[in-house]
Structure 1
Amino acid sequence: MNYQEIEKLKAVLTKMMKKGCMLMIPAYGAEGRIVSIGFRPYWTNPGDSKIEKLEINFVDNRGRVVPLCIYSIIGYEIVSFEGRSLEDAKNISLDIHSYANVKGRKAEKYDTLHLEIGEISDE
């Protein structure tokens, strides 16, 4: 991941948070409205190749604030989005790749977490 990719991910996630979007994490069966997003390092330098920590806080259906922390993000892939461009998307489906510090028999050198972020529908 390079500087521009890091900044693009941060901008998209921040815009989705400002819209008050819903976050769904199928692997954990968790979902809720995003209330805050934090990054470490906050200021990205041109030499950076990963995000040390991404913290997304969301409110679940019981009203609890649930923190989701993802460490050592080394890449991401936009699986799909609904809209004319990524910046104007109503729904985004993405895979976040984080460094797997457990050396196992896996062929992949990273773990993948699938996130779905979408606007709250008026139903």
Structure 2
Amino acid sequence: MKGIDCMNNAEIERLKYVLTNLVRQGCRIKIPTRGVDGRVVGVGFKPYWTNPIDSKIDRLVFDIIDNYGRIVPFYINYITGYDVLSQDGSRFENAKSISLDIYMYSPNKAGEKDSGAKVQLEIASEPVN
């Protein structure tokens, strides 16, 4: 994949752990560029089990409750990397609030120098009522 650095197995597992942990605790997600804002009730990954040779996440799915109470899935395909923009904990794995840039591979731009796209996620734990 030209122009894109791929993740290794440890980076994939780290991202999956952090997202799963935040969803388990209860969190909200904002994706300003896509108009997404809501409470996350589920997260899924494809493949669920990673191999040592994996370099991307084929699909990441957030199940989000919108303002009308509907569960709406939000898909991010072909994740090849991520950058942590900010976090509130001393470690990424313990953060209650994170901001990430997620990099995606776009097969439509395969021959171009910059063959990817980027989306910013803001995820924060909700206070327990």
Same fold flag (TM > 0.5): yes
Letter in 2 for 1:35: V
Q: Secondary structure at the match of 1:70?
A: strand
Deviation, 1:107, is: 4.9
Deviation, 1:60, is: 1.1
**Residue of 59, 64, 83 corresponding to 2:65:** 59
Counterpart-to-counterpart distance in 1, 2:127 and 2:20: 19
Matched, 1:10 2:23: no
Residues 1:107 and 1:47: Cα distance change in structure 2 (over 3 Å): closer
Deviation, 1:86, is: 1.1
Letter in 2 for 1:10: K
Task: Identify, as 1 or 2, the structure richer in helix.
Answer: 2
Residues 7-62 of structure 1 show CA distances to partners (whole Å, capped at 9, x for unaligned) of 00000000000011000010122111111111111101001011111111110111
Counterpart-to-counterpart distance in 2, 1:45 and 1:22: 30
Pairwise mapping of residues 1-123 of structure 1 onto structure 2 (< 5 A)?
A: 1-103=7-109, 107-121=113-127
Counterpart-to-counterpart distance in 1, 2:109 and 2:36: 27
Residues 46-82 of structure 1 show CA distances to partners (whole Å, capped at 9, x for unaligned) of 0101111111111011111111111111111111101
TM-score (norm 1): 0.92
2:103/2:116 contact within 8 Å kept: yes
Counterpart-to-counterpart distance in 2, 1:37 and 1:118: 14
Percent same amino acid at aligned positions?
A: 46
Counterpart-to-counterpart distance in 2, 1:38 and 1:90: 19
Deviates more, 1:4-13 or 1:25-34: 25-34
Counterpart-to-counterpart distance in 2, 1:86 and 1:101: 30
Return 5+ residue gaps in structure 1 as ranges: none
Q: What is the aligned partner in structure 1 of residue 4 from structure 2?
A: none
Q: Which protein has greater RCO, CA pairs closer than 8 Å, 6+ apart?
A: 2
